[in-house]
Amino acid sequence: MKDVSFGQYYPVSSYVHRLDPRLKLLFLIAYIVAIFLASNFYGLAACAGVLVVIVIAARIPFGKVLRAVRGVVFLVIFTAALNILFYNGETVYASWWVFDITKEGLIFSAFLALRLVLLVVCSSLLTYTTTPVSLTDGVESLLTPLKWIKIPVHALALVMSIALRFIPILMDETERIKNAQKARGADFESGNLLKRIKAMVPVLVPLLLSAFRRADELGDAMDARCYTGSGKRTKYKKLRFTWRDLIAFLVGAALIAGVVLMKIYLPAPY
Amino acid sequence: MRIVAEHLSYVYNAKSPFATAALRDVSLTIEEGEFFGIIGHTGSGKSTFVQHLNGLLRLPSSLKRRKKRPKCKKGELPPPETVLRVGEFDLTEKKTDFRALRKSVGMVFQYPEYQLFAETVRDDVAFGLKNFSAEKPSEEQIDGAVKAALEVVGLDYEEMKDKSPFELSGGQKRRVAIAGVIVTRPEVLVLDEPAAGLDPLGKKEVMELLHRLHREWCKTIVIVSHDMDEISENCTQAAVFSEGRVVCVLPPKELFRRADELTALGLDVPLTAKLVSALARRGVEVDCDFTTEDFVQNVLALWQAHGGKGGGA
Ligand SMILES: Nc1ncnc2c1ncn2[C@@H]1O[C@H](COP(=O)(O)OP(=O)(O)OP(=O)(O)O)[C@@H](O)[C@H]1O
Ligand SMILES: [Mg+2]
């Protein structure tokens, strides 16, 4: 578990950690809507500002947040570059063959990059501050209406929680197998891309086998305890909506309202 | 190769809420030629320590810049200097040749059978050989080395070489995995819980295998275990770990005289040591080195000395 920052619960106690997971999920959705609704600089700045406040309230170190962004830096740069080159704007700064670099293109790309970064930070904040268990409880509870049309929400939530639980386990396992192969002289750090991919074979084969073995064992263990997923199940931790959640709800609603208002009254894109 | 560690500390996930100090100021010397045992309660840092020996865990780089050691205030003692030497390799140096180090220090992890990956036993055993050779070894060289390694772990080369490692029994898999480590003839062989998960006969066989390796292949053997009987029967020296520290380093014979201390650390003591202290409480002093054989002989001798009808045991 050395450097897995994306999607790992960060165990400190904070206002954000204690929020109802359902509310956090809804807030995330609202936030994503807000960053895509925001069509000008003020709207995005408001979104970014709210996020900074959340990070501080969640007591997550900024370095940790930046590390989550590091994972998508390549994607952000790539999409931004494509947009700079291909966006059809009016004020042309430079032009070469079929590519035009325009003022509008630059602005659009900057907005897009910022949106992507905000998106990643906000979603990783959700997993930093919410344990997998309460996250799946939240998802299950929010999806309850789907039960009425016979969708197996509980089973889906279970699949999700098992998947989340297995991420750190498999990370650990990868580390262990890598170490074992390193002890036999495997080299994962040098050579070109093809060589590095080939070097992963001695890790991936045992990893896959162990994942299947674990899945089998888990299935057997669940069978042995007569788990069927049907019937009425009670919860160890009941979700409850409190005043904390109300405040967060109001902040989220205010953000969206603000962004929409800015969209209407401040139409300039920057 | 002599292994020297002084003031070695290690923290997992330093500077995060997950931080766990796994080693605290460990100092330990393992002489060449020893069959060294490391025992301790679960989580006491045994695996962490042995993973330092071939550079799988590295010292934090702050320790390596020796010239720029942190200045300390007047009157305070400077923090003790960390030393970690394995033979001629100095792991506190900035540039350590990890490949050469790993070639001379073989490491068998816990449940090594889960690292098998190749299509045939021969390919799997040859993996380390190919990785460590300076130039590509010829097929004959590979065959020769794999054959020798498989035979020393007690497997038949002709029968095994083309089998898939996944169709073997658990004990066979473990032997193949060990063969895959010793195939490069490391001078030091480190094994983390080599007998874990085997039945008593399997355990005995693995231990016999290790003694054979100790005689014929690897000068120094280090095993990690929490089975006291295993340590007392096999090792020449044993170090007791507890909560990341080394409590003591003694030959097992001396160690188990302190059965009470060990029990206080949450460790089990070998059956023989338990019997010795049970007998001592009833006033019968047995002097033995805590191997089953020696114990039996001493007790028999005592019994005969009492005319065949002694003791309350
Ligand atoms: N990869 C890791 N990440 C974080 N903490 C770890 C990691 N490996 C070990 N630890 C922690 O370090 C401490 C020492 O672990 P270590 O594996 O060295 O113990 P051990 O003596 O080998 O135990 P066992 O007998 O159970 O194998 C434990 O508290 C453990 O939780
Ligand atoms: Mg261990």
Question: Going by CA atoms, what residue is nearest to atom 29 of ligand 1?
Answer: B43
| Closest by Cβ to B117, choosing from A176, A179, A206 | A206
Which of B96, B131, B222 is most worth mutating to test chain A (most A CB atoms within 10 A of its CB)?
B131
B16 lines ligand 1 (CB under 6 A): no
Answer positive or negative: Cα dihedral of A30, A36, A37, A40: positive
Confidence of residue B124 (pLDDT cuts 50, 70, 90): very high
**Looking at the predicted structure, is the pLDDT value of residue B84 above 60?**
yes
Question: Going by CA atoms, what residue is nearest to atom 26 of ligand 1?
Answer: B42
- Return all residues near A231 (Cβ < 8 A) that are at least 6 apart: none
Cβ contact B79:B72 at 8 Å: yes
A2 lines ligand 1 (CB under 6 A): no
The residue of chain B nearest to residue A202, with distances taken between CA atoms, is B117
Percent of chain B with pLDDT over 90: 44
Q: What is the pLDDT at residue B313? A: 45
A210: nearest Cα among B114, B16, B37: B114
- Per CB-CB distance under 8 Å, the chain A contacts of B184 are 185
Percent of chain A with pLDDT over 70: 95
Question: Going by CA atoms, what residue is nearest to atom 27 of ligand 1?
Answer: B42
Does residue A177 sit at the B interface (CB-CB below 8 Å)? yes
Average pLDDT over residues A31-46: 85
- Return all residues near B58 (Cβ < 8 A) that are at least 6 apart: B52, B91
A 10 A CB-CB count for A152 gives 13
Considering only residues B75 and B244, tell me which one the structure prediction assigns the higher pLDDT. Answer: B244
Which of B13, B101, B104, B117 is most worth mutating to test chain A (most A CB atoms within 10 A of its CB)?
B117
Q: What is the pLDDT at residue A2? A: 42
Question: Going by CA atoms, what residue is nearest to atom 1 of ligand 1?
Answer: A1
Q: What is the pLDDT at residue B52? A: 92
- Per CB-CB distance under 8 Å, the chain A contacts of B165 are none
Give, for ligand 1, the residue of B15, B18, B20 to mutate: max count of ligand atoms closer than 8 Å to Cβ: B20
Alpha-carbon gap, residue B303 to B305, rounded angstroms: 5
Considering only residues A235 and A152, tell me which one the structure prediction assigns the higher pLDDT. Answer: A152
Q: pLDDT of B260-285, one tens digit each?
A: 778 887 777 778 888 887 888 887 77
Cβ contact B1:B86 at 8 Å: yes
- Per CB-CB distance under 8 Å, the chain B contacts of A187 are 99, 131
Average pLDDT over residues B76-84: 75
- Per CB-CB distance under 8 Å, the chain A contacts of B102 are 182-185
**Looking at the predicted structure, is the pLDDT value of residue B73 above 80?**
no
Percent of chain A with pLDDT over 90: 18
Q: What is the mean pLDDT of chain B?
A: 85
Confidence of residue B1 (pLDDT cuts 50, 70, 90): confident
Average pLDDT over residues A257-268: 77
| Domains along chain B with CATH numbers | 3-67+78-269 (3.40.50.300), 270-313 (no CATH)
For residue B244, give the ligand 1 atom closest to its CA: 14
Average pLDDT over residues B4-29: 88
Q: pLDDT of B125-148, one tens digit each?
A: 999 999 998 888 888 999 999 999
Alpha-carbon gap, residue A115 to A121, rounded angstroms: 10
Does residue A186 sit at the B interface (CB-CB below 8 Å)? yes
Give the tokens for residue A23: 């509310």
**Looking at the predicted structure, is the pLDDT value of residue A206 above 90?**
yes
A231: nearest Cα among A155, A135, A145: A155
Give the tokens for residue A89: 């704007």
Q: pLDDT of A163-177, one tens digit each?
A: 888 888 898 899 999
Confidence of residue A90 (pLDDT cuts 50, 70, 90): confident
Residue B97: Cβ-neighbour burial (10 angstroms; 0-12, 13-18, 19+): exposed
Q: What is the pLDDT at residue B221? A: 95
Q: What is the pLDDT at residue B182? A: 93
For the range B61-68, what are the long-range contacts, defined as Cβ-Cβ under 8 Å and sequence gap of 24 or more?
Answer: B61/B94, B63/B92, B64/B92, B64/B93, B64/B94, B65/B94, B66/B92
A 10 A CB-CB count for B26 gives 23
Task: Say if the Cβ atoms of B99 and A184 lie within 8 Å.
Answer: no
Shortest Cα–Cα distance, B298 to chain A (Å): 43
Give the tokens for residue A216: 């089998």
Give the tokens for residue B293: 């054989």
Helices marked H in B153-227: 157-160, 170-182, 200-216
A140: nearest Cα among A8, A268, A238: A238
Task: Say if the Cβ atoms of A179 and B56 lie within 8 Å.
Answer: yes
Instruction: Tell how far the Cα of B225 is from the centroid of ligand 1, in angstroms.
Output: 14
**Looking at the predicted structure, is the pLDDT value of residue B120 above 90?**
yes
Cβ pairs A/B, distance under 8 A: 60
Which residue has tokens 């295998």?
Answer: B209
Which residues of B fall below an 8 Å CB-CB distance to A?
A: 13, 17-18, 51, 54, 56, 99, 102-103, 106-107, 109, 112, 114-118, 127-128, 131-132, 166, 180-181, 184
Dihedral of CA atoms A244, A249, A255, A258 in degrees, nearest 10, equals -120
Q: pLDDT of A91-150, one tens digit each?
A: 777 777 777 778 888 888 888 899 999 999 999 899 889 988 888 888 888 888 888 888
In chain A the first and final C-alpha atoms are separated, in Å, by 42
Q: What is the pLDDT at residue A208? A: 93
Rounded to 5 degrees, φ, ψ at B225 are: -160, 155
Q: What is the pLDDT at residue A6? A: 45
**Looking at the predicted structure, is the pLDDT value of residue A3 above 50?**
no
Q: What is the pLDDT at residue A267? A: 66
Task: Say if the Cβ atoms of B181 and A184 lie within 8 Å.
Answer: yes
Cβ contact A192:A203 at 8 Å: no
- Per CB-CB distance under 8 Å, the chain A contacts of B116 are 206
The residue of chain B nearest to residue A174, with distances taken between CA atoms, is B115
**CA distances from residue B239 to B33, B39, B84, B230 in whole angstroms, order as listed:** 16, 6, 17, 13
Q: Which residues pair with B4 in a beta bridge?
A: B29, B85
Q: pLDDT of B294-307, one tens digit each?
A: 888 888 888 888 77
Share in percent of chain B as helix, strand, coil (round to 5): 40, 20, 40
Secondary element (H or E) of residue B38: strand B35-40
Task: Say if the Cβ atoms of A185 and B115 lie within 8 Å.
Answer: no
Does residue A208 sit at the B interface (CB-CB below 8 Å)? no
Which residue has tokens 């003020």?
Answer: A42
**Looking at the predicted structure, is the pLDDT value of residue B227 above 70?**
yes
- Return all residues near B168 (Cβ < 8 A) that are at least 6 apart: B121, B160, B176
**Looking at the predicted structure, is the pLDDT value of residue B68 above 60?**
no
Average pLDDT over residues B158-162: 90
| Closest by Cβ to B56, choosing from A1, A10, A183 | A183
A9: nearest Cα among A124, A128, A123: A128
Give the tokens for residue B190: 């480190």
User: Is the pTM of the predicted complex or chain greater than 0.90?
Assistant: no
